[in-house]
Structure 1
Amino acid sequence: MSTIQTQTRAENFNPLDVVEQILDDYAWPFDRCSDQEMTVQVPGRWCDYSMHFAWSEDASAMHYTCAFDLPVPSERKPAVHELLSLTNEKLWLGHFCMWDDENLPMFRYALPLRGTQGLETGQLEDLVETALLECERFYPAFQWVIWGGRPPHEALMAAMFETVGEA
């Protein structure tokens, strides 16, 4: 009997309720478009990021994107696609891709939730933190390719460069 109750609780659970709680905690204004979608603008070091959360009950998964405000001119798209490929090799979770409707690079991740008790607060915090860290880390590479005309491999190496010590 506990299995049936557990399944019922999980089926009635909407992970966007947890997302809403977390966004409230961060004091980030958001728009809950429907029971299946919500968006939020988050300030970053390099730009404001547009986050989108979507819940699919049929797939029992939450889809998450974090786009940067860095439009890609059509002549730079081939170089950006090469950079996307190189960048994705460096990631453990999620991936970067192009949002073709808006010509913007974005980080994407889908979180399957079937068979779970729903989305845990820690999972969501890790997801948002990972996306923001990766977007902040790779934003300069995208900027150098898009606006600086740099080759993708060179821009990525420069973005991955870490300083050691103090001057």
Structure 2
Amino acid sequence: MTSLALHEDETATVSNPLDLVEQVIAGNDWMFDRRSDAELAAEASGKWCDYGMFFCWSDEISIMHFSCAFDMKAPAKQRGAMYELLAKANERLWIGHFGMDEETGMPVYRHSVLLRGVSGSAESVEDLIDIAVTECERFFPAFQFVLWGGKSADEALDAAMLECAGEA
């Protein structure tokens, strides 16, 4: 049986992963603001809308929290339907989850990464961002169908997740 206890000299010091995030964001020529050693905000253009990304690093617990907010807001009267859609969308995700900012009604993709003993890599940051934007792009039409098309969560997901086959 392998022991999970590590000796003090075997643990790696975690550098600030926001340095890697900044390199990846700058490499994509996206606008960003490094607010502090613990926070970085960026904006990326997607197929459907612009996405507001926020990265937060906690040195105390070695976690990087990441969120990717949609450029859309759910009016108060439609938030019940949006919450149902978020729950159903989350069932289809392997990593991260969708939520909604209570104050603004803005849908948000969120994910946190434990980095204790790991320095991270540019590739892992690229993957994190790519997965978030891909999932946001994939579900954006469903959010639109609920908000502006008056569809139920099930109808919106069925229409948005339709796989096209063949050639036009």
C-alpha separation in 1, matches of 2:103 and 2:38:
20
Q: Does 1:76 align with 2:78?
A: yes
User: What TM-score comes out, normalization by structure 1 length?
Assistant: 0.93
Structure 2 residue aligned with 1:119: 120
Deviation at 1:3, TM superposition (A): 5.7
SS at match of 1:86: helix
Residue type of the partner of 1:4? D
SS at match of 1:126: helix
Structure 2 residue aligned with 1:39: 41
C-alpha separation in 1, matches of 2:81 and 2:55:
28
Matching of residues 53-92 of structure 1 within 5 Å: 53-92=55-94
Residue by residue over 1:55-92, the C-alpha shift from the partner in whole angstroms, topping out at 9 and shown as x without a partner, is: 01112100000000110000000000000010001100
Q: 1:114 to 1:6 in 2, by over 3 A?
A: closer
Structure 2 residue aligned with 1:156: 157
Structure 2 residue aligned with 1:4: 9
Matching of residues 11-22 of structure 1 within 5 Å: 13-22=15-24
C-alpha separation in 2, matches of 1:100 and 1:44:
23
C-alpha separation in 2, matches of 1:134 and 1:5:
37
User: What TM-score comes out, normalization by structure 2 length?
Assistant: 0.92
Structure 1 residue aligned with 2:145: 144
SS at match of 1:24: helix
Residue type of the partner of 1:48? D
Listed as ranges, the gaps of 5+ residues in structure 2 are 1-6
C-alpha separation in 2, matches of 1:30 and 1:49:
12
Residue by residue over 1:101-148, the C-alpha shift from the partner in whole angstroms, topping out at 9 and shown as x without a partner, is: 2210010000000122x1211111111000000000000000110111
Q: Percent identity?
A: 47
C-alpha separation in 2, matches of 1:119 and 1:110:
13
Q: Is the 8 A contact 2:11 2:117 kept in 1?
A: no
Deviation at 1:164, TM superposition (A): 0.7
SS at match of 1:30: strand
Q: How many residues align structurally?
A: 162
C-alpha separation in 2, matches of 1:157 and 1:124:
31
